[in-house]
Structure 1
Amino acid sequence: MSDQNALTPRVLIVRHGETEWSKSGRSTSFTEVDLTAAGAAQVSSAAAVLVGSGKLIDPCHVAHVFVSPRKRAETTLDLLLPPSSDISKEKITFTEDITEWNYGDYEGKTNEEIRRLREDKGWDKEQEWTVWSDGLEEVTDRLDKLIVHIKSIQEPLMDGTEPADIVLVSHIFHGLK
């Protein structure tokens, strides 16, 4: 195969479509929240532009797909890469490794509500709370594990002779907004 036609391994990250909670800025980890009609339309519109032969996500170049097991990510996968996309079920793994982090008592609350709650308890006097204040180590550990797994899939394919794209369908952590 010539270098011109070599397949460069990529990792493509797709965030789930809009939910009522993401629309209102509510922290969502384990609560199952459906996509809104607008969220489903977002994914369908993106799929029409991004997925297909010769497009950014070309199903024949996909080596594996990792999906958060949350309903909003599963629905996004179904809209993005329907069975007609020719990506076999064997190439799809549902994994907790790319779920949103656990917001615990902050589940369903906005960042402003969390800050008020923490202020009422007398916390964060030295520095204002951010989503990065809690739980980052647990998320980092999960993502490090996934990176090792992705590397094990892509490493033998680095010569560019076989498909090596990895697609992640996840949450891209609410706090990144």
Structure 2
Amino acid sequence: MGKSPTPRCIIVRHGQTEWSKSGQYTGLTDLPLTEFGVGQMKRTGESIFRNKFIDPSHITYIFTSPRTRARQTVDLILANLSQEQRAQIRVVVDEDLREWEYGDYEGLLTHEIVDLRKSHGLDQDRPWNIWRDGCENGETTEQFGLRLSRAIARIQSLHRKHQNEGVASDIMVFAHGHALRYFAGLWLRMGEEKPCDGQQPQPPTYQDETVPYVPLKTYRHLVDNPSFLLDAGGIGVLSYAHHNIEEPALALAGAFVCPPEEESQHGEIAE
């Protein structure tokens, strides 16, 4: 019996919206996909499954932001699967995966935000960096990092469980531009680590009895741009080096996969 593939976390940014097209910051504003965005995600779903980039039988969970644009993208991707295949995949709506709450910057363009901050006497010594400075009357980078750290801990806990059981496990995460780039940075342990100091939400931000709640002692937050790009409708792949859940890594080959026995990563599956 061959070993199962290394678990993967497949991140998917929702398809095009009117504001992703214009460059306006879209946090809590609940926009649907454009007509182009709908077709975009239908084509993406057809491609990833037809070309075997993702084996539907390997998808154990889908975690999604509660926003319409993310949930609509999930539905369009899964529309390419049979009813039986879809029934095997648990879809979990998780508030921790919502986009950065931009506060006063909601709906603005970057140059408008820069001008607004200057009118408030900010950024006298250095230019605004959302990854470090956060948003006025919105979330700080520490608040954003804490909730994304919680989401990552749950996914990695499930991956550890599935790997110990010998179950192939691709977990897909559907969310937003800043959220997923930030998520990837934290997956790679960028930024700073801080104690949680009791900053755990009660109740949990999702409702699914099969997903264990993972209390955190520490969390990570970014202090600079992770320098990742992810356009609307884009897909990225996060995984683990040496089949080891304790070694989170970026899968530079993306969705392209080879049989586990042919992988060049030497090392045993972590127990």
Pair in the same fold by TM > 0.5: yes
Aligned to 1:164: 169
Q: RMSD of aligned C-alpha atoms? A: 2.0
Q: Determine helix, strand or coil for the equivalent of 1:87.
A: helix
Matched, 1:67 2:74: no
SS of the aligned residue for 1:12 comes to: strand
Unaligned runs of 5+ residues in structure 1 are: none
1:160 CA displacement: 7.1
Report the equivalent of 2:150.
145
Q: Cα distance, 1:90 vs. partner?
A: 6.4
Q: Which residue of 2 aligns with 1:173?
A: 178
2:147, 2:5 → 1: CA distance? 28
- Counterparts of 2:48 and 2:76 in 1: how far apart (Å)? 12
C-alpha separation in 1, matches of 2:57 and 2:89 = 14
Residue type at the aligned position of 1:77: V
Whichever structure has more helix as a proportion of its residues is 1
Q: Against the structure 1 CA distance between its residues 36 and 113, is the aligned structure 2 distance closer, same or farther, given a 3 Å change threshold?
A: same
| TM-score between both structures, scaled by the size of structure 2 | 0.60
1:69 and 1:95 in contact (8 A); partners too: yes
2:100 alignment partner in structure 1: 101
CA distance in 2, matches of 1:107, 1:40: 23
Structure 1 position 136 matched with structure 2 position 173: no
User: Secondary structure, in 3 states, of the residue corresponding to 2:62?
Assistant: strand
**Structure 2 unmatched ranges of 5 or more:** 135-139, 182-227, 230-271
Q: Does the CA-based 8 Å contact 2:7-2:169 persist in structure 1?
A: yes
Runs of 4+ in structure 1 off by over 4 angstroms are 174-177
Identity of aligned residues (%): 37
SS at match of 2:57: helix
Aligned residue for 2:263? none
Alpha-carbon deviation of 1:56?
2.1
- Aligned mates of 1:93, 1:159 — CA distance in 2: 22
On the 8 A contact 2:7/2:163 being kept in 1, the answer is: yes
> Residues 36-51 of structure 1: matches in 2 within 5 Å?
36-51=34-49
Contact conserved, 2:62 with 2:89, CA < 8 A, in 1? no
Quote how far apart the aligned CAs of 1:122 are: 1.8
- Deviation of 1:89 after TM superposition, in Å, equals 7.5
Greater relative CO (CA pairs within 8 A, separation 6+): 1
Q: Tell me, yes or no, if the aligned pair for 1:62 and 1:87 is still in contact at 8 Å.
A: no
TM-score (norm 1): 0.90
Q: 2:11: which partner in 1?
A: 13
Q: Does the CA-based 8 Å contact 2:48-2:54 persist in structure 1?
A: yes
How many residues are matched? 174
Q: Mark the CA change 1:41 to 1:84 in structure 2 (over 3 Å): closer, same or farther.
A: same
Query: Residue 81 of structure 1: CA displacement?
Result: 1.1
Provide closer, same or farther for how the CA distance between residues 156 and 93 of structure 1 changes in structure 2, counting only shifts above 3 A.
same
Give the match for residue 90 of structure 2. Answer: 91
1:56 pairs with 53, 57, 64, which one? 53
